[in-house]
Structure 1
């Protein structure tokens, strides 16, 4: 297959390979199809969970106040720790993606999320819950931008805005809506003082499905493969996308 060039190399004046198609050229030639649809589905599951987790605590104040007698200061602390973790995760997630790879970072942050979010539901006290919620926020902060990066790099340029908004806007907002509905249903069916623990466990369910799908189906991002000199793997990935979307490798430039 032709040598791959990044847009940066083209701007640098790499005239020796000026006719070689860029990775973006290849993705645009392949077009949109089942490959991107499936990626969007997997990442939407993860982002729906993120949306649920970012607002779920606000639904639990009365239950936690009854169980632990939280003060207003403690309620504020509990609400803020997840956003602190989210900020740290956003700052570190991009660096980890550049060093370890986007796929590895996404998979690791998904596993950390599953563990910390599940342990949140079994917290015996406020301190433990705050620690778990901060770790949850960190994992969300890592996986949200990394999943967006992988999706955008594998989507034709004319569709990136639509797919990006579907993931960061619609899926995240859908998660916030779903957790409110789940809270109403669970609190209605479970009248015990521990109903809030059931709701926290329910918030993990989309990621229980998504993490194995990431492991089995989500590839490394094209840009990372290119910057690491793994061009053979990049060619295989582009061929796979072409075959899934069009049934043929002939669309590649």
Structure 2
């Protein structure tokens, strides 16, 4: 290094690695975040009706819906606070802390005794999950090879629905009075997430710090050591001899930056990408938070589905959401980001509007309503996952975690925080027309986000992160 500058090939050494068991470890250890989030959202959604009974917490319909809002408030705050710490102190240190925060919050939730207590405990749980979003998405993108980054990200984000399937399956037993007392089953539901979180906390100890993060913080020798260890593991596991990369970049490490730099870089340097990120995040946040947090209420209120049977309807809904990104995710790396993101957003928005109308005129049953959701969210799930993929790869490395947090927080605040409470009130009104209007808003937001993707989308498929968005510390020498 001379004059503070260093020429490096570290990013390209990571991107040229063949897929290996080590990459699978990364996916399992870090991707668990989405499973835990899906589990938490499902649990609260499924038990919402139970918590309104006099023998439990005796919540009102609004209070039951507000639990989703409380969780999201915590997630927004957690994303902002922990993202700054993630970019300052490293991915590894923070993804241990954020998971620990989640575990504490979900354990406390099991011991809730009134509305205020469970609302506070859901905020704590959300703090951990929100922090996970920024720490995990930044770490995954920085460790996964560029040629499969899109599909891996979508598959990981889609695993949210694995948590949903686990939660809905467990609800069939935990919420069934024949197996557990009504005031015990819902409390035991939270133990599942806590147990899974503890197991993963142990696995994460074996993951390294992001070499890219070490590099831009002036710790080049550590970055080289980490990359060498990764290369040795991958070469041993695959039996392949690794070729030397033919690209380099020169940087002048600037270390940690503040939110002022983030806002200047995001809105000053990449204004179109900023608009894109906000629309994608807001559209999917409103759609998912509005519908899924209140799905159990809808089934109970309009279709008379017993609370201990809602899991039977949520399970196929979750399968559609999980399978969507898996089956069409590779097209985001081959056919391209722009056409696939635009299609999934617009098409799911159109289907949502049609389904909402059919619900309003009363031609749907609990089964056909669920089938409609399965089809809609097969596409919407891939679109929603691509929103997180987009904001995690189109901004510079030094601000990646904070950029993810910024768009998650603002997008969720615009499209998601109030949605569960609003839809809880709309469903509580007992009016199909009111509920339809809510669905129509979600459809419009999704379709509009797809149009914004057509206008401002970024062709990031199969490109190194540094090619998609040059680091703030980069000294341009070899133009891409």
With the shorter chain as reference, the TM-score category is 0.7 to 0.9
Where does residue 144 of structure 1 map in the other structure?
A: 133
Between the aligned partners of 1:252 and 1:132, the Cα distance in structure 2 is 50
Tell whether 2:242 aligns with 1:251: yes
Where does residue 454 of structure 2 map in the other structure?
A: none
Tell whether 2:166 aligns with 1:178: yes
| Aligned residue among 221, 244, 247 for 2:210 | 221
Q: Given the two structures, how large is their TM-score scaled by the length of structure 2?
A: 0.47
* Higher normalized contact order (CA 8 Å, seq sep 6+, divided by chain length): 1
- Superposed CA RMSD: 2.2
- Please report how far the alpha carbon of residue 31 of structure 1 lies from its aligned counterpart in structure 2 after TM superposition: 2.5
Where does residue 104 of structure 1 map in the other structure?
A: 93
Structure 2: runs of 5+ lacking an equivalent: 245-480
Residues 225-252 of structure 1 deviation map (CA, whole Å, 9 limit, x = unaligned): 0122111211111111111111289636
Where does residue 201 of structure 2 map in the other structure?
A: 211
Where does residue 25 of structure 1 map in the other structure?
A: 12
- Please report how far the alpha carbon of residue 87 of structure 1 lies from its aligned counterpart in structure 2 after TM superposition: 1.7
Where does residue 184 of structure 2 map in the other structure?
A: 194
Residues 1:21 and 1:230: Cα distance change in structure 2 (over 3 Å): closer
Where does residue 11 of structure 1 map in the other structure?
A: none
User: Is the contact made by 2:86 and 2:134 (CA closer than 8 Å) also made in structure 1?
Assistant: no
Between the aligned partners of 1:237 and 1:251, the Cα distance in structure 2 is 16
After alignment, is 143-152 or 103-112 more displaced?
Answer: 143-152
Look up the SS of the partner of 1:190 in the other structure.
Answer: coil
Residues 157-214 of structure 1 deviation map (CA, whole Å, 9 limit, x = unaligned): 1011111111112x11211222111111222332442210001112222211111111
Where does residue 146 of structure 2 map in the other structure?
A: 157
Q: Given the two structures, how large is their TM-score scaled by the length of structure 1?
A: 0.86
Paired residue total: 236
User: Is the contact made by 2:52 and 2:61 (CA closer than 8 Å) also made in structure 1?
Assistant: no
User: Is the contact made by 2:103 and 2:198 (CA closer than 8 Å) also made in structure 1?
Assistant: yes
| Aligned residue among 219, 222, 236 for 2:225 | 236
Between the aligned partners of 1:27 and 1:68, the Cα distance in structure 2 is 51
Q: Rg larger in 1 or in 2?
A: 2
Between the aligned partners of 2:210 and 2:41, the Cα distance in structure 1 is 27
Between the aligned partners of 1:50 and 1:73, the Cα distance in structure 2 is 22
